[in-house]
Structure 1
């Protein structure tokens, strides 16, 4: 899908995903007293699972544009993941930085696979 409608669908999805990312991140992080960025980790796993789920559904360009690209793209955040990992390393929390990279990559891939499998189980 391309053109003006695609831009509107991406913007609509992102308008929901971005504030939800911020609120979910703050909600999760406020419940942990560690340097590990649990909030970013949680939204990235959730977004990966949802995108995996959407990818397994029958092709609907409008749904994938709004929910997959717009919503999931704004909900997940590679830039914040990179920033927080770098910050951890600079502050001497090297184990947490390495753990963040390993857990985020493995967890994101695993969440995507689980979302994909769940969609196949639900849709048959």
Structure 2
């Protein structure tokens, strides 16, 4: 599927919903867990990885990577707007620059390690592993 107007619209709608959901989840995490560590960003990135693994496994057919409208709206748009590497990077740098190198390193290791695990669990749940 090319990037015609329909494809762009699917990505835009998914991205708008995903971005709003990210703000909501991040605010809830900060309220429940505090703001001394970027719990909200960690939560959205892990939830997004889990969901992407499930989507990829569910929408993949005969070893062909998913494409088309559902993939564009849900994976590219919704999960692309929901997850955030930029906030992760900025918050990690902020921890480092404020003398909290241990928390910065913990954020990197936790996000990357648990992100891959969440993706694998999502793929398993979707029947892909």
TM-score by length of 2: 0.89
How far, CA to CA, are the matches of 2:34 and 2:75 in structure 1?
Answer: 32
The root-mean-square deviation of aligned C-alpha atoms, in Å, is 1.3
- Structure 1: give runs of 5+ residues left out of the alignment: none
In structure 2, the residue matched to 1:49 is: 50
Conserved in 2, the CA contact under 8 Å of 1:35 and 1:88?
no
Q: Please give the residue correspondences for 1:1-12 in structure 2 after superposition, counting only pairs within 5 Å.
A: 1-2=1-2, 3-12=4-13
In structure 2, distance between residues paired with 1:33 and 1:84: 14
The answer to whether residue 105 in structure 2 is matched with residue 98 in structure 1 is: yes
Runs of 4+ with deviation above 3 angstroms: none
Residue of structure 1 equivalent to 2:121: 114
Instruction: Show structure 2 runs of 5+ residues with no match.
Output: 60-65
Q: Deviations over 1:91-119 (max 9, x none)?
A: 11110000000000011111111000000
Q: CA deviation at 1:45?
A: 0.3
Stretch of structure 1 that moved more, 66-75 or 1-10: 1-10
Distance 1:90 1:31 in 2: 25
Distance in 1 (alpha carbons) for counterparts of 2:25 and 2:80: 15
